[in-house]
Amino acid sequence: QVQLVQSGAEVRKPGASVKVSCQASGYAFTNYGIHWVRQAPGQGLEWMGWISAYNGNTNYAQRIQGRVTMTTDTSTNTAYMDLRGLKSDDTAVYFCARDPSRLGPTIFDYWGQGTLVTVSS
Amino acid sequence: DIQMTQSPASLSASVGDTVTITCRASQAISNSLAWYQQKPGKAPNLLLYAVSGLQSGVPSRFSGSGSGTDYTLTITSLQPEDCATYYCQQYYDTPALTFGGGTTVEIK
């Protein structure tokens, strides 16, 4: 069965960076895309960006472009999200999610369990 | 970016009721709309795609309709396990995907 397993909770100081991983199993990793979506405490869902595991193409939300990098390692079926210049309002649960398309962002059909990133001095 | 506005923000209904949640887009999105269910402390779960396409494993009491800018999620015969927050999401304006603000469904 399709599974996305994310790395554990992180605590960072303002200005630092964090890298969250998402290991996929149960499907052909390079046939799909991976999104990153975050949810601040008590808030709704915010799309951060997408990467094609097929060709490495990326699209990032304008709000965080310049601070985020998404990558994949096809040898380990793992996606990564690196967020730099952390601010207190980056405190959120970060989810990875699979996209059934490998060519462009569409929908999210399977989700990871979420990774809490806390930014605090 | 396309703004997605959901209403109501919350509702309370009884088991067996029919519940309707509305999602309005700030411009036409050509049926590129999905719905998700999120229970507290859990990741969201895809319910419907392309307005009315039922995701595998999702009960048939969930249905979707709409066109243009206005879309609805209907839960027929509400069950206790349907207590959750529901989000719509547009994928017409890629890559700028956007979600609605969410609708919390409580059981009376």
pLDDT tens across B22-54, in order? Answer: 999 999 999 999 999 999 999 999 999 999 999
Q: Is the pLDDT of residue A104 over 90?
A: no
Q: Write out chain B residues lying below 8 Å of A107, CB-based.
A: 34, 46, 49, 89, 91
Strand locations in B19-101 (E): 19-25, 33-38, 45-49, 53-54, 62-67, 70-75, 84-90, 98-99
CB-CB under 8 Å, A47 with B99: yes
pLDDT score for B95:
86
Mean pLDDT of chain B: 97
- The minimal CB distance from A113 to the residues B43, B89, B102 is found for B43
| Top-confidence residue, A85 or B94 | A85
Question: Considering only alpha carbons, which residue of chain B is nearest residue A41?
Answer: B41
Task: Dump pLDDT digits (tens) for A47-73.
Answer: 999 999 999 999 999 999 999 999 999
What is the rounded average pLDDT of the residues B53-62?
97
Distance from CA of B45 to the nearest CA of A (A): 7
3-state secondary structure at position A90: helix
Residue B55 DSSP code:
P
Distance from CA of A87 to the nearest CA of B (A): 22
Q: How far apart are CA B48 and CA B43, in angstroms?
A: 16
Q: How far apart are CA A85 and CA A17, in angstroms?
A: 6
pLDDT score for A19:
98
How far is CA A111 from each of CA B44, B68, B74, B75, B86, rounded to the nearest angstrom?
Answer: 7, 28, 23, 23, 15
Question: Considering only alpha carbons, which residue of chain A is nearest residue B58?
Answer: A109
Question: Considering only alpha carbons, which residue of chain B is nearest residue A114?
Answer: B43
Q: How far apart are CA A21 and CA B63, in angstroms?
A: 34
Q: How far apart are CA B79 and CA B56, in angstroms?
A: 19
Number of Cβ within 10 Å of residue A34's Cβ equals 28
CB-CB under 8 Å, A44 with B100: yes
Task: Dump pLDDT digits (tens) for A22-47.
Answer: 999 999 999 999 999 999 999 999 99
Q: How far apart are CA A15 and CA A19, in angstroms?
A: 14
Sheet holding A3-6, edge to edge: A3-6, A18-25, A78-83, A68-73
Number of Cβ within 10 Å of residue A41's Cβ equals 9
Q: How far apart are CA A77 and CA B103, in angstroms?
A: 34
- The minimal CB distance from A50 to the residues B32, B95, B101 is found for B95
Percent above pLDDT 90 for chain A = 97
pLDDT score for A16:
98
Question: Could you tell me if B19 and B33 are in contact, meaning their C-beta atoms sit under 8 angstroms apart?
Answer: no
pLDDT score for A101:
86
Nearest to B21 by CA among B67, B62, B77, B80: B62
pLDDT score for B94:
86
pLDDT score for A102:
80
